[in-house]
Amino acid sequence: MERNYLSAAYITHALLKRWLAEPPLDSSLRHIVFTASTAALVSVPGYAAYAPTKAATRALADTLRQEVLLYQSQQDIRIHCTFPGTIYTESFWQEQAKKPALCKELEGSDKEGSGLSAKRVAEEIISGLKHGHFFITMDGETALLLNNMRGPSPRDSPVWDWLVGLLASLIWPIYRMKFDRKTIKYGKNLISKGRK
């Protein structure tokens, strides 16, 4: 929790306090990019300590994306969250030596070429930023999980749950836009009251 979630939360808190305390030097856009993981979207035995911290990181990014809208009239700050799968780093290879075989099999890290280099992940993140994406995925499987957001968790009534999910996918974007507009308006009102 300290390494994956709290460090991101504390660093972001300090950064936002600093950015918002001082007027920006120019009108340039500022970005904060969180790194979650495909594990934030799907449960795999062996990741009981890891996956919840990445799901919390995704939730933090989702919440902050809307909260920074309060300050949009002051500064344009964008929050993003990335979902890389396997990244071939020295830490990954050390982890592989201790990881249970079932975990490797289910996540696919037992197959050669199932991951990306850190450089490739960075390129995918930059590409996502250039396209203005809030959630940035590195592969089709993660994009599918993200867009299903429920992931592979069991469904109580598959047909009903699917229909409700379909309905939600049509309704929630409208509510999200309403929430965003209300947040921006609320932030403008707070700032104008503070200046009086």
Q: Which residues are the active-site residues?
A: 50, 54
Query: Pairing state of beta strands 30-35 and 116-117?
Result: unpaired
Which residues 6+ apart lie within 8 Å of 80 measured at CB? 31, 32, 33, 34, 61, 125, 128, 129, 133, 134, 135, 136
Query: Taking a C-beta distance cutoff of 8 angstroms, is the pair 103, 83 a contact?
Result: no
Secondary structure (3-state) at 135: strand
Amino acid at 176: R
Which residue, chain included where needed, has tokens 């007027």? Answer: 23
Among candidate residues 3, 66, 75, the one with its CA nearest the CA of residue 35? 3
Residue 79, both tokens? 């929050």
**Residue 105 burial (CB count, 10 A):** 13
Q: How many CB atoms lie within 10 A of CB 70?
A: 18
